[in-house]
């Protein structure tokens, strides 16, 4: 799923050079999720590049049914994302970028809250950071 598309301008001696960046999140809905940020001269090429890279960067996530095993805070740069397990039937209560990561990972019941910076790139990174640090009770 495409999270954000930005237009980037590089100012050179010969003028302005336009390009586009695309932030994409992919997952198999079975506990694997990945993201990628790619740049290209056209939007469609940037999205295609990001999808390919995101598929290569899938990371496994520990799930407990349709939710997460315990509460955790993920951090990246200026963003912090609080992830809480939720009971069956709650649904995904999350902001856009966090919702995309949860949908890709196959999480159907979760409560989340974004603190500090809400930059989509850092929010996605913080969410995946929190999800990858989850542990089940048997491991602890």
Q: Render pLDDT for 37-74 as a digit per residue (tens, 0 to 9).
A: 999 999 999 999 999 999 999 999 988 888 999 999 99
Query: What are the strands, taking DSSP E only, across 32-126?
Result: 32-40, 59-60, 72-76, 79-85, 92-93, 110-116
Predicted TM-score of the model (pTM): 0.89
Terminal-to-terminal C-alpha distance of the chain: 33
* pLDDT of amino acid 111: 94
* pLDDT of amino acid 139: 62
List of domains in the chain = 2-59 (3.30.160.20), 61-132 (3.30.230.10)
The answer on pLDDT for 1 being more than 60 is: yes
The answer on pLDDT for 123 being more than 90 is: yes
């Amino acid at each position: 799923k495409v999270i954000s598309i930005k237009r980037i301008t590089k100012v050179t001696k010969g003028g302005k050079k336009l390009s586009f960046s695309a932030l994409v999140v992919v997952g198999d809905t079975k506990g694997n999720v990945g993201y990628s940020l790619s740049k290209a001269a056209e939007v469609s090429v940037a999205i295609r590049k990001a999808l390919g890279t995101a598929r290569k960067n899938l990371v496994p996530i520990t799930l407990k049914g349709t939710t997460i095993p315990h509460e955790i805070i993920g951090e990246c740069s200026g963003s912090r994302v609080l992830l809480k397990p939720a009971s069956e039937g709650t649904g995904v209560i999350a902001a856009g970028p966090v919702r995309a990561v949860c949908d890709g990972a196959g999480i159907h019941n979760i409560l989340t809250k974004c603190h500090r910076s809400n930059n989509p790139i850092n929010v996605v990174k913080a969410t995946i950071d929190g999800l990858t640090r989850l542990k089940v009770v048997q491991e602890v």
